Amino acid sequence: MAESGITYRRYKDGEHNYRSYGEKIFEQDTTYKCPTYVHRTPPCQGSCPSGEDIRGWLQIVRGIEKPTHGEEKVEYAFYRSTDANPFPAIMGRVCPAPCQEGCNRNEVEDFVGINSIEQYIGDYAREHALKFKGPDKETGKTVAIIGGGVGGLACAYQLRRMGHSVKVYDNHKELGGMMRYGIPGYRTPRDVMDHEIQRILDLGVEVHLNTFVGKDITLKQLREENDAVVIAIGAQAGRNIPIPGSDAPNCITGVSFLEAYNDGRLKFVSKRVVVIGGGDTAMDVVSVARRLGHVQAKSPDERPEAVVLNQTAQDCAVACKKEGAEVLLVYRRPVDQMPAAEHEVEAARKEGVELRGSLVPVEVIKDDEGRARALRVAKADWSSGKMEIIPDSEFEIECDLIVSAIGQGGDLTGMEDLDNGRGLIDSDKYYQVPGQQGLFVIGDIVRPHLLTTAIGQAWVAAESIDHYLKKEDLGKRPKVDVHHFDLLEKLKETGLAPEPYCHEETWGTSESNFAIHNFEDRSEQEIIPADKLFLGHFEYTPRHKRQEVEITAENVIDSYEERFIGLDDDTATAEADRCMSCGMCFECDNCVIYCPQDAVQRTPKDKSTLGRYVFTDYTRCIGCHICSDVCPTGYIQMAMGDH
């Protein structure tokens, strides 16, 4: 949006009966409303499936919220960030960032680059060898976690911080789940991922690799040997296209394709590759296929499908003679409606992938050997809002390999009684398996979604397990179920905690130090929208973007370097400074400067902290509303009034 596109309006249509400022301010206000300070959740945080306190760690990086124990600001931001998500360096690289879509800064010019700052925090933590803090005491309770992907590891992290012993069982030779076996290494660098996993294991997590629960050990055994069990096995079984001919050997799933690549077995693909799907897995498949390139296989055992399905490997010497593969992505909806992240779609185009939307697979056409030689598709019309097949529009797309990336299911071998009929497992809002006390389930096996979704579910499940092990009621989850800023904890951290209440008869609390005045916390119920902010305060400031390595169709083969270069200190601070701190004071002084009665004043430095930067002297306040009008963040609200 250009600078001239800022369209903030203080008054809406129909609001025209305003008194003069002389009457409104200097004579008196007749609404009897005075300002109070209301904390709400920002939409970035409300949109984050991990529930991170995004506004909080942005405030720290920009220098508004100060460390209290001598830490560097980025170290302080790291511990705030990882209270919810123990993988900041990885998630800063691969998360499609629904937080950025929700960012209120979009109403000014462009969202805050939350992902890039999260990567900056994670990379800083790795470079400075920051460690997680272990529990204060052990509970003596043991929890078994089945699955060592992001969900299982995040749950292990949260449970260890609570003092519970944790055993992780995984059927692979290395931990990481889909983060390792489903996402290409150039998007999740293995050294970065291994470091963030090890930081969790250093808390004292016991690990059992190459162990398939349901084959090598039963779920029943784990439930008998532990106080609780968490199923976090993911959905690592891809789904083939449900059309005639899809049983051809060279019709494979995107999940198995990516696992063979990430395992190091798949080194080249066929000449003509067709990928079906429009999500993140589909984008990873097409990008990998373009990077691998095409080599004419010397034997049937070296064909891509043989490698993927039969656990064979390809000849490295043959792989040196690569040529570009023709990669086409087919999606049943228009391309602009693909669920994949927009920057991944654009990157695929630059890398030479052809994207074709509104095409519906009808049949796989086989050759005399029973292998797929073409995909028959029909054109779809979506102009009515629903899919309508265009009559006589079918045609064939010739191909040598078809990869289906249309969905995933779980491998429930040994746990078949938990199957909900869709290859998944049901859970309640506490992520407990319905009717199964002490058995919990999280991640893609509940509903295939984002890595960050599994991390958020892990936190909720860990809290539920903690209550369960303490024989407590699981309680009611808040409406806005994320990690919130806690003013009381902040006051304790800064040595400003309220005095203990003496339980004596008290008339009024304005002079008492056991009460917190002028603060209302609505963060668990409300997300603050853009129309509650004073957007006119914010100047047009372009986003500070990460530098991007240019990968094109000409240089894509074997291009495995990271696409984005992380921000430096100054750029990260400047980008964090674009945060509008929705729902929380960011100490701009507008209310102090514009108050005509000097009723709004700065809190004395020895009593000031985040959320307590200003206070109102109600003996001076005349209820003129100006402080509320000029508050950029929507933190000041006129209260105690008649309407």
Q: pLDDT tens-digit profile of 239-260?
A: 889 999 999 999 999 999 999 9
Query: What are the angstrom distances between the C-alpha of 163 and each of 108, 140, 435?
Result: 45, 8, 26
Q: Percent of the chain having pLDDT more than 90?
A: 78
pLDDT tens-digit profile of 214-236? 999 999 999 999 999 999 999 98
Find the DSSP H helices in 235-321: 254-262, 280-292, 304-310, 316-319
Is residue 372's pLDDT more than 70?
Answer: yes
CB 282 within 8 A of CB 340: yes
Homologous superfamily (CATH) for 142-236+410-469: FAD/NAD(P)-binding domain (3.50.50.60)
Q: What is the mean pLDDT of residues 125-135?
A: 96
- The pLDDT value recorded for residue 34 is 84
Q: What is the mean pLDDT of residues 406-431?
A: 93
- The pLDDT value recorded for residue 498 is 87
- The pLDDT value recorded for residue 429 is 95
pLDDT class of 518 with cuts at 50, 70, 90 = confident
CB 167 within 8 A of CB 206: yes
Is residue 4's pLDDT more than 50?
Answer: no
- The pLDDT value recorded for residue 237 is 83
Query: How far is it, in rounded angstroms, from Cα 163 to Cα 158?
Result: 9
Q: Percent of the chain having pLDDT more than 70?
A: 91
- The pLDDT value recorded for residue 239 is 86
Domain boundaries, the chain: 3-129+485-639, 142-236+410-469, 239-400
- The pLDDT value recorded for residue 460 is 98
Model's pTM, two decimal places? 0.90
Query: How far is it, in rounded angstroms, from Cα 364 to Cα 358?
Result: 18
pLDDT class of 593 with cuts at 50, 70, 90 = very high
Across 99-113, 118-132, 498-512, least confident range: 498-512
Is residue 513's pLDDT more than 60?
Answer: yes
- The pLDDT value recorded for residue 26 is 47
Query: How far is it, in rounded angstroms, from Cα 557 to Cα 353?
Result: 12
Burial class (CB in 10 A: 0-12, 13-18, 19+), 594: middle
Homologous superfamily (CATH) for 239-400: FAD/NAD(P)-binding domain (3.50.50.60)
Is residue 6's pLDDT more than 80?
Answer: no
